[in-house]
Amino acid sequence: MCLSTFCCTFASMKHSYLRLHASILLAGATGLFGKIITISELPLVFYRVLFSALLLAFVMGVQHRLHRLPWRQVAMMMGCGVLLAVHWVCYYGSIKMANVSIGAVCFALVGFFTAIIEPIIGRHRPSWRELLLSLLTVCGIMLIFGFDVRYRAGIAVGCLSSLLYSFFSVLSKRVQATTGRASSTMLLYELTGGGIMLAIATLVYGLAVPQAVVAPSSHDLIALLVFASLFTIGPFLLQLQSLRSISAFTVNLSYNLEPIYTITLAMLLFGEAGELSPAFWGGIALILLSVAVQTILAVRSRNKGNR
């Protein structure tokens, strides 16, 4: 390899890693909008999904990537979107009931739930190593749950959010393998399915609770537009670009940093460090230990496979 080719390759890899970590940072910042946007979690997620779907449809339309699909495939994708939408409602509900840090920590339970759900749906034996390591995360959540009584409702809803996302990720992966559709197509139909369900739920919510604020203020509308474009579609597109020269394995491992970014940003912007008890820090230490050990073992397994 000549020097110029090496320099070009290095520059391309460097830009890919910058895009990857920019996508993780943007994804980690999504939790902050649960505090910034004042309307409740149901209309918040509805407007996020609506604006994101419209923006993605516009981009795909310009690129001539909008095509009619068989109704069976559409139904499967939209069904996954309903799970994703309910997960988001619970996630932002957890943040509004507790704080951004609690919501981010509870999201770390996704690995534990996935280690149980994936073998059941896929009909194969579970990985006992994954289950044991994920139990460290459960112990961390239990430590926070047991000692910090202020946030029990938020933690319970956050745990439900993680369970729903685990179902979504496992089923979405199977649907994509079955249909063979691109990730952008999957996301568009998932957002559409979630948006239809949320539109009905928001309408019912507005009628059942007349005093509830459903329409966003001008401040919320601006935040929602930024949320939908930069912090929803943005991470997705950056991740796709980074995958052109970085392996999916590296991308997935790197996304373990997302909760850390979320908690760090919440502390810097909202001063949440003062709200968190010693039990929280003990719990997050166990969660970080679980992530670190899983990462080390995954890297070792990867290296052995490449020999």
CA 61 to each of CA 55, 66, 78, 236, 240: distance values in angstroms, whole numbers, following the listed order? 10, 6, 19, 17, 18
Q: Is 137 in contact with 286 (CB distance < 8 Å)?
A: yes
CA 42 to each of CA 38, 86, 93, 213: distance values in angstroms, whole numbers, following the listed order? 11, 9, 8, 11
Separation of alpha carbons 15 and 238, rounded Å: 11
Q: What is the pLDDT along the chain (307 residues), one digit of tens a residue?
A: 443 443 344 345 567 778 888 888 998 899 999 989 999 999 999 999 999 999 999 989 998 889 889 999 999 999 999 999 999 999 999 999 988 888 888 887 887 788 888 888 887 787 777 777 777 777 877 776 666 677 888 989 998 999 998 899 889 888 988 998 888 898 899 999 999 999 999 999 988 888 888 889 999 999 999 999 888 888 877 876 776 667 655 666 577 677 778 888 888 888 876 666 777 778 778 877 776 776 676 667 656 655 5
Neighbouring C-beta atoms of residue 243, cutoff 10 Å? 16
| Tokens matching residue 13 | 């890899």
Three-state helix/strand/coil letters over 166-198: HHHHHHHHHHHHHHCCCHHHHHHHHHHHHHHHH
Give me Rg for the CA atoms of the chain: 20
Residue recorded with tokens 């449809």: 57
Q: Residue 258: helix, strand or coil by DSSP?
A: helix
pTM of the entire structure? Answer: 0.83
Q: Is 251 in contact with 20 (CB distance < 8 Å)?
A: yes
